[in-house]
Amino acid sequence: VGVVDVEKVLKESVPGQAAAKHLEQAKAILQKGMDDLSAQWKDAPEQERNRVLAEGLNALNRQMAIEDSAARQVVLKIMQEECAKWRKDRKATYVVARQNLLDADNSVDVTTTIIKAMEKRVAHFADLPKVDVKEREDVKKDEKKENKKEDKKDEKKEDKKSSNKKK
């Protein structure tokens, strides 16, 4: 029988630390997306802005939970493979998570052995998320109107120049 402290493996193993770094990067990307969204909606009516920002925050939290779960699964898979190797090498019957035991003798704790075995493993995580903040529709319409006005002004200036040249 072997006992493994899963939380300790997730925190202290090389793949676990790589997962933490990956999650920090994902969080930074998602936070930048949220900041961009907030900046884009800063001048919108308060009720609409609050609705959009709440939706954005919910999406950010959902994506972060997905990222966290995926990274955790990568580390747990590596841990499980190393536990299986340890069990076969020792001809042990099973390996149990410490969190599932009420009490166990420390002599059966193989957490450090599993963490050391995991040092040689490289964790492969999913690509970091990409955040695309869509431009506000009302801003697009206003910009188009503004561009049309400027185009008309430019046309009028050109017309005046060409009529002045003819004189």
pLDDT tens, position by position, 111-161: 999 999 999 999 999 999 998 888 877 655 555 555 555 666 666 666 666
**How would residue 83 be classed by pLDDT, with cut points 50, 70 and 90?**
very high
Of residues 165, 142, 143, the one with CA closest to residue 157? 165
* Percentage of the residues of the chain whose pLDDT score is greater than 70: 82
Q: CB neighbours (10 Å) of residue 111?
A: 19
d(CA 73, CA 79) in angstroms, rounded, equals 10
d(CA 160, CA 154) in angstroms, rounded, equals 10
Of 53-62, 92-101, 128-137, 138-147, the range with the lowest mean pLDDT is: 138-147
For the four alpha carbons of 13, 15, 19 and 21, in that order, the dihedral sign comes to positive
Of residues 75, 74, 72, the one with CA closest to residue 64? 72
DSSP letters spanning 42-75: TTS-HHHHHHHHHHHHHHHHHHHHHHHHHHHHHH
3-state secondary structure of 55: helix
What is the value of pTM for the model shown?
0.75
**How would residue 15 be classed by pLDDT, with cut points 50, 70 and 90?**
very high
Mean pLDDT (the chain, rounded):
87
d(CA 1, CA 143) in angstroms, rounded, equals 69
